[in-house]
Amino acid sequence: MNNQYGYMRVAAAVPRVHIADAHSNAEGALKIMEDAFNEGVEIVVMPELSLVGYTCGDMVLQKKLLSDSEKALAWLMEQTADIPTIGIVGLPVVYADRLYNCAAIFGQGQLWGIVPKSYIPNYGEFSELRWWVSGYSIKDRMIRFAGQECAFGSDLMFDIHGVEFGVEICEDMWVPVPPSSMQAVQGAKLLFNLSASPESVRKHDYLISLIAEQSSRTMAAYVYASSGHGESSSDLVFAGNAVVAELGRVLGVSERFVRNDRMVISDIDVEYISTRRAARNTFYYPEAPEMRVVEIDVDEICHQGDLRRHIEPIYFVPENEEARAAHCKEVFAIQSAGLAQRLEHTSCDTVVMGISGGLDSTLALLAVCDTYDLLGLDRKNIVAVTMPGFGTTDRTYQNALTMIKELGCTLREISIKDACEQHFKDIGLDKSQCSVAYENSQARERTQILMDVANMCGGIVIGTGDMSELALGWATYNGDQMSMYGINSSVPKTLVKYMVEWYANNRAEGVLREALLDVVATPVSPELLPPSESGEIAQKTEDVVGPYELHDFFLYCALRRRYAPSKIAMLAYIAFEDVYSKADILKWLKVFFRRFFSQQFKRSAMPDGPKVGAVGLSPRGDLHMPSDAQVRAWLQEIEELEQELE
């Protein structure tokens, strides 16, 4: 692992194969090695039996081919003596008069180890027992091969620059307990598979899902290369699959059925893999077999250029439109299920909520309506209270009225102006100053109204604040921070927008749809300061605390991935390259951490609410954080980055 952010560059490669022509295959492997090195790849895996061809059949029993493949490997190692990239190729190996289907791990002129295939299939098109012996029981052995002595056995793992990896072959991945699973619990963070899996209709999707699932279950990266162009088509066709997956997510897939070499390259976040494993105390297997670890001593490869993986700018919202729609639908379902349980438990059929005409209260209202439909309750029991104040604009006010009416809820309008002005007099506040007290008193007045109305009608107050606001502490303590059930408490602001938009386009029509889309287009604002002379919103949240798309990016990286500020900044530079300058990213990153640490006391007192995604802020669940934690070290790291920009 040779860069400061904890990535390791790997590749799955599919060279053209020449059946039974070991030297030509070695020449193809050499080109792959050279190309991989030029791309900064540290480890590259090639298909099963790639030095002779998987479809050799009985030819693998020929002494000539066995000798040629051994010589080809020796030649390949000699030709790559100056290349520190680690290569993994497949070839036949005779050991103790038995023939094994093996993977050779080599680099910089050294043969570091040979791993035999553990599981030999004997079904359908996979009748391999005719030639191969299982290497499952081969442990703690050494072998003399290709002019060198090296470790040989199924008990091998390898360590390169402090990162351990394991190797398995084709069928090994398809069995109930793959060797890679045992390698992972023994510390392997990278898992490589040399395969020769023929293509058939619908098999490809299952293969991709299997690779992704194995990378998820082992909490590792899984790098898979399968045979392609050049293999015999007498009975089977090989499409040449090259796949890289990490922690359940597919990072790269090659094009199939092409007639030239191909290589899928990706930077694996080894640091994150370690972090995820450390946080999962069930990641162990007490009966896992002991492994031998071969330390690979090769030069480090520096690749400080572009990161070879896609960085999503909005982690909480799927980029694919179809996946995004399914995501929104599922979040609504989770919110509704959570509130339904609370209403049934409390024998309550009435809820009270404040509707401002902004994004958050709109999403909450839609989710509550779904809940009432789920329970078969009358939406008239949803008491939607609009509470005009000093900053309320006609745009948001009219949208609130339209939504409440069109959704069939009960409207109550209670102005807070007179009550707040009386309160200002009581505490001696000059309202012309528009201070924090001026703003927060309005939020608390609204919360008091909602609580009292709920008492009057025997209902509960539904909170509307979202997770992004909770992360930044952008809520008034004992004001909009408080409710009896926070239905949006783990929905980030970036997702709130997409959910309201999805609802408008898929489940609304007419004036309701128009109102919802206008809510999406309205600037985010608490509307606690008087509007402009033209009646427009004067107080825009993102002008004060920063863009929510950045803060949600920071939030995911800091809480889900536990990255340091420098790594978060580096990824943000890439994700928002054409949107924000590096200086602006650091400015808002500093704001994020300062507010995130200082506002924990608000989250410590947050009400119940359903978790809907990978990140949550509940002190009873995802975030056990002291309110007095010091942010100094985080800010210092950001300040050092700022100095580098000067």
DSSP string, 74-139: HHHHHHTTT---EEEEEEEEEETTEEEEEEEEEETTEEEEEEE-S---EETTEE-TTT----TT--
Spatial contact of 368 and 351, defined as CB atoms under 8 Å apart: yes
Q: Confirm whether 170 is a catalytic residue.
A: yes
Q: What tokens were used for 539?
A: 């107080």
Choosing from 48, 70, 171, 469, which is the catalytic residue?
Answer: 48
Average pLDDT over residues 308-312: 91
For 440: left if phi > 0, alpha if psi spans -120 to 50, otherwise beta; the answer is: alpha
Average pLDDT over residues 410-437: 92
pLDDT in tens, 365-419: 999 999 999 999 999 999 999 999 998 889 999 999 999 999 999 999 999 999 9
CA 578 from centre of chain: 22
Q: What is the pTM of this model?
A: 0.92
Q: Confirm whether 406 is a catalytic residue.
A: no
Q: Confirm whether 39 is a catalytic residue.
A: no
CA 625 from centre of chain: 23
Q: What tokens were used for 599?
A: 């506002």
Distance CA 25, CA 406 (A): 70
Residue 229 has a pLDDT of 87
Distance CA 67, CA 360 (A): 71
Choosing from 56, 102, 150, 170, which is the catalytic residue?
Answer: 170
Residue 87: CA count within 13 A, CB half-sphere? 39
The model's confidence at residue 538, banded by pLDDT at 50, 70 and 90, is low
Distance CA 527, CA 396 (A): 9
Nearest to 2 by CA among 60, 41, 36, 29: 41
Q: For the chain, which residues make up each domain, given as ranges?
A: 9-280, 321-645
- 9-280 has which CATH code? 3.60.110.10
Q: What tokens were used for 483?
A: 């409710």
The model's confidence at residue 304, banded by pLDDT at 50, 70 and 90, is low
pLDDT in tens, 595-631: 999 999 999 999 999 999 989 999 998 899 999 999 9
Amino acid in position 308: R
Helix (H, G, I), strand (E, B) or coil at 253: strand
The model's confidence at residue 525, banded by pLDDT at 50, 70 and 90, is low
Distance CA 415, CA 420 (A): 9
Q: What's the first-to-final CA gap in the chain, in angstroms? A: 29
Which uninterrupted H or E stretch holds 514? helix 510-521
Residue 1 has a pLDDT of 46
- 321-645 has which CATH code? 3.40.50.620
Distance CA 390, CA 573 (A): 39
CA atoms 138, 87, 83, 43: torsion sign: negative
Residue 438: CA count within 13 A, CB half-sphere? 13
Choosing from 42, 70, 117, 493, which is the catalytic residue?
Answer: 117
